[in-house]
Amino acid sequence: MKVVIIAGGQGTRIRSVNSEVPKAMIPVAGKPIIEWEIEMAKRQGFEDFLIITGYLGEQIRAYLGNGERWGVKIEYYQEEQPLGTAGALGYLKDRLTEDFFVFYGDTIVDIDMQRMMDFHREREADATLFVHPNDHPYDSDIVDMAADGKVRGFFLKPHPEGFVSHNTVNASLFIFSPTVLERIEVGKKSHIEKNVLPRCLAEGLRLFGYNSPEYIKDMGTPDRYEAVGEDIRSGRVEKMNFKNSRKAVFLDRDGTINREVNLLDKAEKIELIEGAAEAIRRINKSGMLAIVVTNQPVIARNLCDFDELDRIHATLETRLGEEGAYVNAIYYCPHHPDSGYPEERKEYKIECECRKPKPGMLTRAAKEWNIDLSESYMIGDGKRDYEAGINAGVKRSIMIEQNAPNALLHAVEEILSGRNS
């Protein structure tokens, strides 16, 4: 499978070199960004690169050559004139006849590429977009996805007043099938996120969001180079690869993050408990995953359908985003064991494996996110939450007072201080 690296675009003047270089050649932790990308892919067996160069492209060719030094094969396409992030791809239809990765040349990234490729193939996707939750969705372009990852729409900023959505955004890394290239007009300026993907979606192509907590950062400002360089040196970039297990804090929803109102059935009823967003922001900063596991018998009882539950969760993500926090995933159990009510949905009135205190949601999340349960935590306001944590084998299960201001924050502080000592 080929890896296309888009390394055109403007040059950047940096102090350490004291002349203009293309962004891909900016040294971070002692090496040009694009070299980190090539080495990361090579480690995983991807050895076939096609680099799109533009202004100052000769610097990239002079440095990387045919790739021999890295044990890889590199070909190039030199843009005659800048045609946006996608324009050059229009000329490459003959050279890209199978699925291929697309990286931007100014991104430090370390991902399990095989895992993303499997995701793409299992879904027979035309395009797979690497997405992640973002802590400022109100001023970001949102990728709106269904529960199975299928992309439903793109909400480009600026958003209208009172806008509510999930918090996933493009992280600027893709797998495309050749079908995508057919939607790029040759010789015309266009951008992947703004033009090509919306067109693919409108024309019925299968687009999927691949939600991942792995490390990916593009280079914006000089302090970003510093921070990213530090992340490389400290091992943080590599540690976040899906191949390595992660720690998580599992969180109950009602009564723990948002106010318990007894069977929350409408998005308008979501109200964050004081200190909850701050608590989750601290989990985000710590590098642990924040994963919600919630019993939602409102489905079995037919008080709320799946669309409304989706809106409830989008609202929760929006409220958290307003305060700079995000959760990595939300798992819910739609079941309830006691049947016999006239309005109920029979198919969900079952004895399942996911309803807390059973550990099903935690064990499933552990499998899907490569979480080490024995190093993870559960926090909730009920006995069922506490027991689900114990049954899943977490390191510590913590019960907090329902709807109490800052109760979640105190529990998270305790976890984080324990880790440091």
Q: Which one, of 254, 283, 291, lies nearest residue 271 by Cα? A: 254
Interface residue with Mg ion, options 35, 381, 387, 394 (CB under 5 A): 381
- Catalytic-residue membership of 135: no
The answer to the question of residue 354 lying near Zn ion (CB under 5 A) is: yes
Partner whose binding site includes residue 254, from Zn ion, Mg ion, none (CB under 5 to 8 Å by kind): Mg ion
Interface residue with Zn ion, options 23, 282, 301, 355 (CB under 5 A): 355
- For residues 89 and 4, is the Cβ–Cβ distance under 8 A? yes
Partner whose binding site includes residue 252, from Zn ion, Mg ion, none (CB under 5 to 8 Å by kind): Mg ion
Closest distance to Zn ion from the beta carbon of 295 (Å): 8
The answer to the question of residue 336 lying near Zn ion (CB under 5 A) is: no
- Catalytic-residue membership of 254: yes
Residue range at the interface with Zn ion (CB under 5 A); choices 158-166, 194-202, 351-359, 370-378 = 351-359
The tokens for 107 are 């991104």
Interface residue with Zn ion, options 2, 247, 311, 335 (CB under 5 A): 335
- For residues 84 and 184, is the Cβ–Cβ distance under 8 A? no
* DSSP 3-state percent helix, strand, coil across the chain (nearest 5): 35, 25, 40
Which of residues 101 and 332 has its CB atom nearest to Zn ion in the complex?
Answer: 332
Residue range at the interface with Mg ion (CB under 5 A); choices 40-48, 51-59, 249-257, 410-418 = 249-257
Partner whose binding site includes residue 355, from Zn ion, Mg ion, none (CB under 5 to 8 Å by kind): Zn ion
- For residues 384 and 356, is the Cβ–Cβ distance under 8 A? yes
Q: Which residues of 317-345 are buried (b: 16+ CB within 10 A; e: fewer)?
A: bbbbbeeebbbbbbbbbbbbeeeeeeebb
Determine the Cα angle at 20 with ends 16 and 23, to 5°. 85
The answer to the question of residue 387 lying near Mg ion (CB under 5 A) is: no
The answer to the question of residue 254 lying near Mg ion (CB under 5 A) is: yes
Give the list of residues 6+ apart from residue 384 with CB closer than 8 angstroms, or none: 295, 356, 357
Q: Which one, of 152, 156, 144, 145, lies nearest residue 195 by Cα? A: 156
Burial class (CB in 10 A: 0-12, 13-18, 19+), 12: middle
- Measured distance CA(252)–CA(279) in Å, rounded: 13
Partner whose binding site includes residue 3, from Zn ion, Mg ion, none (CB under 5 to 8 Å by kind): none
Which of residues 88 and 411 has its CB atom nearest to Mg ion in the complex?
Answer: 411
Partner whose binding site includes residue 255, from Zn ion, Mg ion, none (CB under 5 to 8 Å by kind): Mg ion
The answer to the question of residue 214 lying near Mg ion (CB under 5 A) is: no
The answer to the question of residue 298 lying near Zn ion (CB under 5 A) is: no
What is the H or E stretch that residue 217 is in?
Answer: strand 215-218
Instruction: Please give the residues from 32 up to 91 whose contact with Mg ion meets the rule CB under 5 A.
Output: none
The answer to the question of residue 193 lying near Mg ion (CB under 5 A) is: no
Which one of the listed residues 99, 106, 231, 252 is annotated catalytic? 252
By annotation, the residues acting in catalysis are 252, 254
Interface contacts to Mg ion, rule CB under 5 A:
252, 254-255, 381-382
Interface contacts to Zn ion, rule CB under 5 A:
333, 335, 352, 354-355
